[in-house]
Structure 1
Amino acid sequence: MVNVVFIHGTGVRQKSYDQSWRKVERGLARVRPDAQLLPCFWGEAHGARLALDGASYPVRDQDRGLTGGTDDDGLGPWPALDVEPLAEIRALAATSGEDESGYVPGRRDPWDGLADRVRALSEADLPRDPSELPTGGGDTTLWLTEELGAYVADAARTVADEISHELSGGDAPVNGESLAARAVVALAIHLADAAEDADEPLAVDGADRDLLVEVLTDRLGGKDRGAIGGGALWAANGLFGATPRRRDRTTDKIVPAGGDILRYQARGEGLRGRIAEVVELTRERDPGRPVVLLAHSLGGIACVDLLATRAVPGVDLLVTVGSQASFLYEIDALAGLRRGADLPGHFPRWVNLYDQRDLLGFVGERVFPGRVKDIRVNLRQPFPRSHTGYFAHAPLYDKLASELP
């Protein structure tokens, strides 16, 4: 018989651990009925939690911004436009009805007219001198003009084509000029980001961005000075629902996952000690029976750190699943082993399972030649399910069965 200690990864609490436990228990029972599965749940004792009930959060105000009181974050549709610059146009097209004015000989569709004006925009339409700036503009607005100028014409053509394709024949535009101007500025920012290929997004102040929208709205003949209102307001409101409206709720959701990692990097001795304790208790209960550590994600990092810093008698095999241990070693962030150092002689046999679609799963054979065996699995899932779905993957247990002592 063999004892398999199951160690979970980051962000896992009791309910999730129980679900994974049942999957591992069934999977091992099918391929190795002689395996005894043992728990090593650490999420509650050694995971991250908000001990002061979120006292570190900034106080949330009630600033309703410039959007007519519809968005208490004051961002309007920008969270959606920052992801997809054409989102507001497509949202409007999704519910826009047919123009009820009917066909009039010689009458040009107003959306097509707007598209033509948008298509004519170029770098020359951006302000180049402080005297051309609306009230509130300054040096940083002109800096943004310089950074975006080369991309305005391409962005304008794309936005114009989208307006013609999606909105032509629909309800007559209300504040369509500002909607188009927002799309042009948002897309120009995206194009600048792509062209620079920098390590972080282009630094853009929201006030400067809004001033450029105001300038382009004016160039297009709009009178709303870039504000959201009228017929376009509902479209923006429809986009707000997908954005985080409350920072505390959003942070609460990411504290277990990201917080566990940060806490481990600073206070990892508690988790490593818990793993060693479970191994010792297992050996005392079943002396002479081999012990396998089956560890997912952060649990695998903790096992590598533990086994690299001291001998843990009785551990015959380490199995890491979706692990970042080799990556942390490569960037010299592994607590138990500095980059350039070899795994110690007492380190047990190590098998590492990974899925190529798992952005948090890394290989180890090229990092620790001769000391790690990589085994690839294919969950046929995109990330992040390719990271969380390992223990629901039946072939994983078939591959694991032949590796167990």
Structure 2
Amino acid sequence: MKNPVFVIHGVANRDLDGFTAAVTALQAATGVDMLPVYWGDLGAEDRFITAALPTRDTAPRPAGGPGSVLRDEAPSAAPSYLFADQPYLADQLEIVDTALRNELESDPGPLRGAPGAGGPTPDDIMACLATEWPDTRWLSRTGDPALLAETGRALAQTLLDTDTLANDAYGYDGLRGAPAGEPGRLRALVRRRLQDFDRIAGAAIGAVAGRVNDAVRTRFGPGTTRFLGDVLVYQRHRDAIHARVRARIDEVDPRLGRSPERPVRVVAHSLGGVIAVDMATAQEPLWTEQLVTFGSQSAFFHVCDPRGGQLLPYSGQTPVQLPASLGRWTNLWEPLDMLAFAASQVFRLDDGSSPADRPVPHAATTGLWTHSAYWDLPDVATAIAEAMADLPADTD
């Protein structure tokens, strides 16, 4: 009869009963005898993780009063229109300039007037805009051409609106009558309108970003931060966690995993897969004939920071040779799982073949945080059953 498959959980698992129930359900789905290997009590202290997560309520508001998106610094000296030291500003203003001129030319408004009428020209407007643009908080930081073009068109429409300008302290009448040597009124009008547009852009960007940020932190934040916490603890206490795995195997048979004649079979999720690969490739390895990982990171960790043991660093040219102590490896990943990585480009098995990277379809019912969804996916159970069935049974 085949020895049981040992199942090693991943990060943020602090519920022994829940993990045991998940393994029992997976055993029923696969028809493979399984034993849970629990190490969660050795993981990171995660009760107070939320205290370190920023929220919109605790984030300081920008300077300038409630809801303000304007910077607190004093206006800078008038920069060169070309912004030689900040070329991205010139690129932004080129888009604004084109949209503004096109809008002015498409409307026979009062600023166009007859030649010599004394109104500001598009060049006058852009000179003022170039002076004020670096002091915007949001517009000067956007790379969205559509937003920049709309700003140019909106500014042109403001300057073409005679009703609005007639009621403005710095309105059209003042602009037409202002001597050429006194551009202050035009600059004041451009500044006020640009600040209005900047506030609107900031409110829209802030609202969208805030909702996205809240959603990311609410749905992904706890899982991601607990993942990082357990990774940090594993790096420091690897020996203790490996000893826990070894002790669980010894409860079944102390000979298991000690030699190529008595290898083990392992299924592992997330960081559990890293644990399994680290143990199978250690100088004194856990001999593993079949490994199935899902949502795991061994390849990612190894290319970032070589794992040691019998593994050479990844050169970027050829895959890293795995020792004979890791016989076969099926690596499952879900398309939306941000914590799942491929193994076949980084590693080669001892027989020259690659680990079998196998995607599992995304199930709409799992939502966006899919890292913990593998346990209930039928395709995962099928892959495990196929991998474990493709081995001869023990006669001992």
Interval containing the TM-score (normalised by the shorter chain):
0.5 to 0.7
- What stretches of structure 2 of length at least 5 have no aligned partner? 103-131, 147-185, 315-319, 392-396
Q: Partner residue of 2:143?
A: 188
Separation in 2 of the partners of 1:386 and 1:234?
A: 32
What is the number of residues matched between the two proteins? Answer: 296
User: TM-score under structure 2 normalisation?
Assistant: 0.56
Which of 230, 235, 244 aligns to 1:260? It is 230
How big is the alpha-carbon RMSD for the aligned residues of Structure 1 and Structure 2? Answer: 5.1
Q: Partner residue of 1:345?
A: 324
Q: How does 1:275-290 map to 2 (within 5 A)?
A: 275-284=245-254
Higher relative contact order, chain-length normalized (CA < 8 Å, sep 6+):
1
Separation in 1 of the partners of 2:291 and 2:228?
A: 24
Tell me which stretches of 4 or more aligned residues in structure 1 moved more than 6 Å: 50-57, 155-161, 227-234, 248-253, 285-290
Q: Partner residue of 1:269?
A: 239
Are positions 1:26 and 2:25 aligned together?
yes
Q: Deviations over 1:46-87 (max 9, x none)?
A: 335489997999xx98854325234xxx8x599xxxxxxxxx
Q: How does 1:316-395 map to 2 (within 5 A)?
A: 316-336=289-309, 337-339=311-313, 342-356=321-335, 358-359=337-338, 360-364=340-344, 367-369=347-349, 370=352, 372-380=354-362, 385-395=369-379
Residues 325, 23 of structure 1: alpha-carbon distance in 2 compared, 3 angstrom cutoff: same
Separation in 2 of the partners of 1:332 and 1:138?
A: 49
Separation in 2 of the partners of 1:293 and 1:160?
A: 68
Q: Residues 352 and 374 of structure 1 are in contact (CA less than 8 Å); yes or no, is this contact kept in structure 2?
A: yes
Per-residue deviation, 1:294: 0.9
Q: Name the % identity.
A: 21
Per-residue deviation, 1:6: 1.8
Q: How does 1:170-319 map to 2 (within 5 A)?
A: 184-188=139-143, 221-223=190-192, 226=195, 238-239=207-208, 241-242=210-211, 254-284=224-254, 291-312=264-285, 315-319=288-292
Separation in 1 of the partners of 2:70 and 2:7?
A: 45
Separation in 1 of the partners of 2:361 and 2:61?
A: 45
Q: Deviations over 1:249-303 (max 9, x none)?
A: 9987753122222333344333223222222223259999974221112211121
Residues 393, 151 of structure 1: alpha-carbon distance in 2 compared, 3 angstrom cutoff: same
Residues 24, 352 of structure 1: alpha-carbon distance in 2 compared, 3 angstrom cutoff: same
User: TM-score under structure 1 normalisation?
Assistant: 0.55
Q: How does 1:1-20 map to 2 (within 5 A)?
A: 1-10=2-11, 12-15=12-15
Aligned to 1:6, the other structure's residue is in SS state strand
Aligned to 2:86, the other structure's residue is in SS state helix
Residues 27, 146 of structure 1: alpha-carbon distance in 2 compared, 3 angstrom cutoff: same
Per-residue deviation, 1:41: 2.6
Separation in 2 of the partners of 1:279 and 1:396?
A: 23
Per-residue deviation, 1:309: 0.9
Are positions 1:65 and 2:58 aligned together?
no
Q: Residues 350 and 373 of structure 1 are in contact (CA less than 8 Å); yes or no, is this contact kept in structure 2?
A: yes
Residues 329, 232 of structure 1: alpha-carbon distance in 2 compared, 3 angstrom cutoff: closer
Q: Deviations over 1:4-34 (max 9, x none)?
A: 2221223x2325x7656544432331331xx
Separation in 2 of the partners of 1:234 and 1:306?
A: 52
Separation in 2 of the partners of 1:6 and 1:159?
A: 64
Per-residue deviation, 1:42: 2.3
Aligned to 1:221, the other structure's residue is in SS state helix
User: Residue type matched to 1:223 in 2?
Assistant: R
Are positions 1:397 and 2:394 aligned together?
no
- What stretches of structure 1 of length at least 5 have no aligned partner? 79-132, 162-176, 192-216
Q: Partner residue of 1:106?
A: none
Q: Partner residue of 1:85?
A: none
Aligned to 1:351, the other structure's residue is in SS state strand
